[in-house]
Amino acid sequence: MPSKTYKRHDRSDIFIHWFNAACWLLLLLTGVGLIQNPDIDPFGSGYPEALRSLVGGGGNLLAIHEFIGLVWIAGFLLYLLVNFRGAKFFLAEVFAVSPARDMAWMFKKMILMTLGPKALKAVGASPDLPDQGYYNMGQKAFAQASVVGGIVIAVTGVIMYLSDRTFGAESTGMVGWAVTLHFIGVGLVFAGLLVHVYMAAISPEERPGFKSMFTGVVPGDYAKHHHRLWWEKVRSGSEGSE
């Protein structure tokens, strides 16, 4: 008999997730192509030159990057209008951190991923992870970095976009800081994204969670094992979906 499934994401959540992923990928690829310093170019100097040549020059590449960025911001604003309740729930969940439970989960998870359960048993600690809610602490940490980093990227991106259209010479300092913070924000999000992609798409135990970003539902056994506190809450107030 198939395991009961529980609804985890609605259509707007699934859309904004993949919309965000697509925009970030395109913004990263075009943004790296705009870098003119070979010392900090992650793909090597040949990549920016090839990409600029492909689109007809650096000016066109910048215009494409700016357009994608504006579409990304507009998409999120539209999502907030359509599903503000869902966005509010998301923010409340990812920034609700229990120091005892969530920090213990994060510490144990890192030990399990690097040294294995024997390392925890060697110091008298149980390898069992503390029960988690709608998001585990790893997901919360990435979401927090994404929210903060995303806001920084969006705000600084708009400042840079307006720098040669609206701002005068007196804003040079602000624009300079915007460029620096833009790079920091991108680095913060990209670092978290590498871990997120591995945990969500590659790690076998998280595969049902990855599939839920297409189907909107997760199996009951997965929910019970990985998000027990949420699973118990849903069971007490809902039967889930078959």
Write out 32-48 in H/E/C secondary structure: HHCCCCCCCCCCCCHHH
d(C-alpha 29, C-alpha 9), whole Å: 28
Is the separation of the CB atoms in 153 and 188 below 8 Å? Answer: no
Q: Taking 80 as the threshold, does the pLDDT of residue 201 lie above it?
A: no
d(C-alpha 234, C-alpha 105), whole Å: 22
Element (H, E) at 218: strand 217-219
Q: Taking 70 as the threshold, does the pLDDT of residue 242 lie above it?
A: no
Please give the residue that has the higher pLDDT: either 241 or 223: 223
Longest dimension (CA), the chain: 69
Q: Taking 80 as the threshold, does the pLDDT of residue 44 lie above it?
A: no
d(C-alpha 163, C-alpha 171), whole Å: 8
Rounded mean pLDDT, 156-180: 86
pLDDT 10s digits, 108-123: 999 998 899 999 999 8
With cut-offs at 50, 70 and 90, classify the pLDDT of residue 183: very high
With cut-offs at 50, 70 and 90, classify the pLDDT of residue 220: very high
In this structure, the chain runs to a length of 242
Rounded mean pLDDT, 67-83: 96
d(C-alpha 235, C-alpha 224), whole Å: 10
CA-angle at 174, arms to 168 and 178, nearest 5°: 120
Among residues 117, 113, 103, the alpha carbon closest in space to that of 205 is found at: 113
With cut-offs at 50, 70 and 90, classify the pLDDT of residue 169: low
> Considering only the top CATH level, what class is 131-230?
mainly alpha
